[in-house]
Structure 1
Amino acid sequence: MSSVTSSTASSSVEALRARYGERYRWLLLISVMIGTMASIMSSTIVNVAIPDMSHHFSLGQSRAQWVTSGFMVAMTVSMLTTPWLLGRFGYRRTYVGCMWLLLGGGVLGGLTNHYGIVLFARVAEGLAAGVVQPIPAIIILRAFQPHEQGRASGLFGMGVVLAPAIGPSIGGVLVDLFGWRSIFFMVVPFCLASFWLAYKFVPTTTPGGTAANRDGAGLDWRGMLLATAGTLCLLNGMVALRDSGGWTAGLLLAGAVCAVVGFIAWQRRLAALGGTALMNLHLFSYRQFSMGSIVAVIYGTALFGSTYLLPVYMQVGLHLSASYVGTTLLPAGIVLAFTIAGVGRLADRHPTYLLVSIGVALLALSFALMATVTLTSAAWWLVVWVTLGRIGLGFILPSLNLGAMRPLDKALIPQASSTINFLRMLGGASGVSLCGIVLEWRLAAHGDSFANPVTSPERLAAFNETFMLLAGLCVVALVAALQLRETAPVAKSSTG
C-alpha cells in the first residue's frame, strides 16, 4: 500500500513539475497531443475507404455512412464523461485506458470480415476518442498563463491537424494498394507512442492537482442514457426523413426533442439536489460561452460534414481515385497546420472573436466557391478552394476554445471543455448525416443516384447545393462569433 502511495506521489503534477522544470507543461501537452492525433485520425481517415468498404460488404450509402456516424455518436456522448473520469481516476489512468480502447478498436476493425464487428470496433474507437479530446483544452487553460495559451493552442492544433492532413493521403495510397482494412492499423504507432509518453509525463492526479477520488460521486447514468437516446433519435430521425415515411421521422425527431427536454430537466434537478450533473448548465449563463457553443455546433456541422462530403465528391462526382483524392487534400492540410501555428501566436495578442469571425467567413466563402468547379475545370482550382477553407479552419481552431472559456472560473474548465466539445461533435454527427441526406435528396431532384456509374453536370449540381447549405450555416455562425468579444479582464490560470 505504501509503495502505491509513493508511486502516486512521485507522478503527481507537483512532482513532475519539480523534476522537469518549466518545460514540463509543454511536455505534458505534447504527450496528450499524440493520443488526440490518433483519435482524430481515426475519426476522419475512414472516409477515404467508404466506397471500397461499401463494395466489399455490398452496402447502400446510408448503411455505409454509419461507419462514420456510429463513431461520431459514440464520441459525442462519451465526451460528457471526461470530467467525471478525470476526477475518479486521474489524468493518466483515464488517458491510458482510452488509448488501449482505441488500439483494440483499430486492430479489431482491420482484422474482422463482418460488417457488424466493424461497426462495433468503430464505436469502441469513438468512445475512446470522445473521452480524450477535451483533455488538451483543460491542460492549456489550467497549466498555461493567459499570454501563453494561444501559442500552446497553436502548437497543439498544428500537431493534431498534421495527422489527419497526412492521413488521408497515406490512407488513399494504402486503400489502393492493400484495400480498406489497412487504414484501421494507422492508429497503432500513435497509440504505442502514447503509452510511453503517458507513463513518463502524464500525472496521476486530477485537474487542480488533487488525488483521484475513487469514492466520489457516481457517474450520472440517467443523464448519459438521455443524451445517448437524444443523439440516436436525432440522427435516425434525419435519416428517416429520406428513407422512411414522415411518421417515422416525426416520431424519432419528437423523441430527440423529448430526450433533450428530459436531459435538461434532470441536470437541473440533480444540481439542485447537490449531485454531480453530467453537464453544468450554469456554464450557459456566461454570454461568451453560450455564443461559443453556437459557433461550435455549426463549426462541427460544417467541418465533419465537409470531411465526409469532400472525398465522396471527388470520387463519385469527379471520378478521381482514392490516392488522387488524398494527394489533392494534402496541400490544404499542410497549409492548415501552419496557419494554426501562426494564428495561435496571434491569439495571445489579438481579440479571439476577430480571429474566429475571420475563420468562419473564409470557411463560408470556400464552400460557396466550390460551385465554380465543373467537370472540365483544372484540378488546381479545387485545391485552391479547399485550401481557402482550411485557412479558415486554422483561424477558428486555436481561438474558439480560448474565446469561449477564458472568462470562466478555473474550476468550471473541465466541465466547459467537455460540454463545448460535446456540442461541437453533436454538430459533427448531425453534419455527416445532414450532408448525406441533402446530397441524396438533391441527386434525386436532378434525376441522378449513386447507382449510376457515370457522373454528370447534374450530379455536380447536387453536390454544389449541399456545399451551399454548409456556406449558409457558416454565415449564421459568423453572427454568433461576433458576440465572443471579451467584456471583462482575463483571469489568471494555475497549473494542474
Structure 2
Amino acid sequence: MPDNAPPNSLIALRERYGERYRWLLLFSVMVGTMASIMSSTIINVAIPDLSLHFSLGQERAQWVSSGFMAAMTVSMLTTPWLLARYGYRRTYSGCMWLLMAGGVAGGFATDFSLVLAARVAEGLAAGVVQPIPAIIILRAFEPSEQGRASGLFGMGVVLAPALGPSIGGLLVDGFGWRSIFFMVVPFCLASLWLARRFVPVTAPGGAAANAQGAALDWRGLLLATVGTLCLLNGLVALQGDTAGSVGLLLLGAALAVLAFVWLQRRTLKQRLLRPDAGVDPLMNLSLFADRRYAMGSIVAFIYGTALFGSTYLLPVYMQMGLGLSPSHVGAILLPAGLMLAGTIAVAGRLADHQPTHRLVSIGLLLLAASFALMPTIGLRGAGQTLAMLVIWATLGRIGLGFILPSLNVGAMRSMQKIHIPQGSSVINFLRMLGGAAGVSLCGIVLEWRIAAHGAQLDTSSTSLARLAAFDETFLMLAAVCALALIAAWKLRDR
C-alpha cells in the first residue's frame, strides 16, 4: 500500500481485506439499497388504510407512491457529482441517515402533508443510492464476473420487495399503517455500520474526493425537477381536471425537457472547450451515441413503467378488486418474490455468457404474459383465485429475473470507465422516470375504466364492473411490455 494512501481509501481497504473486499463492498451497499427499495414498495399495501385514515381520494393517496418516485427520479442525476465531491462513504452514509429520518418522521406524522414530506425525503435518499451498486459492479469486477455479481446483488435486493409486502401486510393488519414506516430503521442502522467498515472515503476509481471540484449543475437540476413534476401532475390531472390545466402542465413538461436538452448540450460543449469551466453537465447526452446504451435506456424507461405500475396496481387490485386483506396480499406476493430472487441468481450467471438482448427479450415476454393473463382470474372460487394469482404473479417475477441482472451491465459494458457513474445515473433516472409515470398512468387508466364501467373504487364487495376495469389496466401494461421488445432486440451485437 502506498505510504500516502488514506487509511479508509479504496487502495487501503483492498490491501486490508484482499480479494474478498469487492464482495464485502457490494454487500455493504446492497443492505442500503434493500432499505431504499423496501421503502419504495412497502407503502402500497397501506394505501387503502391511508386513504381511510386521512379521508383521501385514490388520486391523492397515490401521491405517497408518486411523490416518492418523483423525488427519487430527480435525485438520481446528482449521484455522479456527489460521489466525485464527497466520496462513496459520506454520500452513502448521508443518504442512509436521511432515509431513516424520513421513516421515523412518516411513522409519527399526524397530517397527510407530513407523511408526503417524509416520503419525499425518503425518495431523495433512495434516488442517490440506487445507481451506486452498478457503478461498483462495472468498476470493481472483471467483465467475466459482472453478470454473477449483478445476479447475486439482485437476488439480495429483490428480497426487500419480496418480503416487504408480506411483513408489511401483517404489520398493517396488526399495528396499522404507521408501523410500515419503521421497517427501514434496522436496515439503515446496519448499512451505516457496514459503511464505516467497508465503504471507501474515495470517489469512483480510487481518486480522492474533491470538495473543491466542479459545481453542481443547478440549472439542469431545476429544469429536470420542473419537467418531472409537470409531467406527473399533468398525468394526474387527466383524471378530472379541465383540458386547459392538463394541456398547460404537459406543455410545461415538454418545454422543460427541450430547455434541459439545450442546456446540457451547451454545458457539455463549454466543458470540452474549457476544462476549467467549473460545471459538469447533469446528463452527458453524448452517451446516447452508443446504440446499445440508447436502446438499453429505452428498455429501462418502458420496463420501469410496467414494473412500478404493476407494483402499485397489484396490491390495490387484490384488496379493492378481490376483497383480500393486506396480510393475504403479502402472502400471495411472497412466493413470487422468492422465485424472483432465485431467477436473478441463475440469470446473473447466464448474463456472463448469453447475449443481453436474448435474456431481456425473454424477460419482457414473460412479464407481458403475466399481465395479459390476469383477466383470466375474474370471480372464481376463492381457492382457484388465489392459486391463479400466485401463478401469474410468479410468472411475471421470473420475467423480471431475466431482465434485472443483464440490462444495466449489457447496456454499459462497452462504456469507458470514466463515463460509468454518469451512465449508471442516467439509465436509472430513465427507469425511475418511467416508473413514476407508470404509477400515475395505472391510476389514470384505472380511474378512467372504473368510471366507464359505472363502478366505484372502494373495499366493498367485489363486482364484475370493477374487475373489468382492473383487467383492462393489466392489458395496458402487457401492451407496454410488448412495445419494449422492439428496443430490446436492438441490444444485440452487430
Conserved? CA contact 1:147–1:348, under 8 Å: yes
Instruction: Provide the residue aligned with 2:400 in structure 1.
Output: 393
Kindly provide the amino acid, as one letter, of the partner of residue 356 in structure 1. V
**1:453, distance to aligned residue in structure 2 (A):** 2.3
Conserved? CA contact 1:229–1:259, under 8 Å: yes
Post-superposition Cα deviations, 1:155-179, rounded to whole Å, max 9, x if no partner, equal 1000000011001000000000000
Kindly provide the amino acid, as one letter, of the partner of residue 130 in structure 1. G
Distance 1:290 1:348 in 2: 21
Conserved? CA contact 2:139–2:417, under 8 Å: yes
Instruction: Provide the residue aligned with 2:137 in structure 1.
Output: 140
Distance 1:72 1:171 in 2: 19
Q: Match of 1:333, SS?
A: helix
**1:8, distance to aligned residue in structure 2 (A):** 7.3
Post-superposition Cα deviations, 1:262-285, rounded to whole Å, max 9, x if no partner, equal 000000111111130000001100
Q: Which runs of 4+ in 1 moved over 6 A?
A: none
Conserved? CA contact 2:9–2:200, under 8 Å: yes
Matched, 1:211 2:218: no
Matched, 1:345 2:352: no
Instruction: Provide the residue aligned with 1:233 in structure 2.
Output: 230
How do 1:338-417 and structure 2 match up within 5 A? 338-377=342-381, 378=384, 379-417=386-424
Structure 1 vs Structure 2: percent identity of aligned residues? 71
Residue 463 of structure 1: which of 460, 470, 479 is its match? 470
Instruction: Provide the residue aligned with 2:274 in structure 1.
Output: none
Residue 198 of structure 2: which of 201, 209, 216 is its match? 201
Conserved? CA contact 2:265–2:285, under 8 Å: yes
Distance 2:375 2:415 in 1: 41
Instruction: Provide the residue aligned with 1:177 in structure 2.
Output: 174
Q: Match of 2:282, SS?
A: coil
Conserved? CA contact 2:5–2:11, under 8 Å: no
Distance 2:59 2:69 in 1: 15
**1:479, distance to aligned residue in structure 2 (A):** 1.0
How do 1:419-434 and structure 2 match up within 5 A? 419-434=426-441
Post-superposition Cα deviations, 1:52-86, rounded to whole Å, max 9, x if no partner, equal 01101111101101000000000000000000000
Distance 1:451 1:97 in 2: 40
Deviates more, 1:41-50 or 1:478-487: 478-487
Kindly provide the amino acid, as one letter, of the partner of residue 287 in structure 1. R
**1:458, distance to aligned residue in structure 2 (A):** 1.2
Q: Match of 1:243, SS?
A: coil
Kindly provide the amino acid, as one letter, of the partner of residue 47 in structure 2. I
How do 1:291-306 and structure 2 match up within 5 A? 291-306=295-310
Q: Provide the TM-score with structure 1 as the length reference.
A: 0.96
- Superposition RMSD in Å: 1.2
Distance 1:452 1:297 in 2: 32
**1:114, distance to aligned residue in structure 2 (A):** 1.1
Kindly provide the amino acid, as one letter, of the partner of residue 438 in structure 2. G
Distance 1:475 1:116 in 2: 38
Instruction: Provide the residue aligned with 1:310 in structure 2.
Output: 314
Distance 2:54 2:464 in 1: 29
Alpha-carbon spacing, 1:307–1:8, altered in 2? closer, same or farther (3 Å): farther
Instruction: Provide the residue aligned with 1:447 in structure 2.
Output: 454
Instruction: Provide the residue aligned with 2:338 in structure 1.
Output: 334
Q: Match of 2:154, SS?
A: helix
Distance 1:227 1:484 in 2: 27
Instruction: Provide the residue aligned with 1:491 in structure 2.
Output: none
Instruction: Provide the residue aligned with 1:288 in structure 2.
Output: 292
Q: Structure 1: which 5+ residue stretches go unaligned?
A: 1-5, 488-496
Kindly provide the amino acid, as one letter, of the partner of residue 469 in structure 1. M
Post-superposition Cα deviations, 1:295-332, rounded to whole Å, max 9, x if no partner, equal 00010000000000000000000000000000000000
Matched, 1:438 2:442: no
**1:486, distance to aligned residue in structure 2 (A):** 2.4
Distance 1:279 1:375 in 2: 48
Distance 1:303 1:452 in 2: 24
Instruction: Provide the residue aligned with 1:121 in structure 2.
Output: 118
Q: Structure 2: which 5+ residue stretches go unaligned?
A: 272-278
Kindly provide the amino acid, as one letter, of the partner of residue 239 in structure 2. R
Alpha-carbon spacing, 1:203–1:452, altered in 2? closer, same or farther (3 Å): closer
Q: Provide the TM-score with structure 2 as the length reference.
A: 0.97
Distance 2:5 2:193 in 1: 17
Q: Match of 1:15, SS?
A: helix
Instruction: Provide the residue aligned with 1:493 in structure 2.
Output: none
Instruction: Provide the residue aligned with 1:253 in structure 2.
Output: 250
Q: Match of 1:473, SS?
A: helix
How do 1:35-184 and structure 2 match up within 5 A? 35-184=32-181
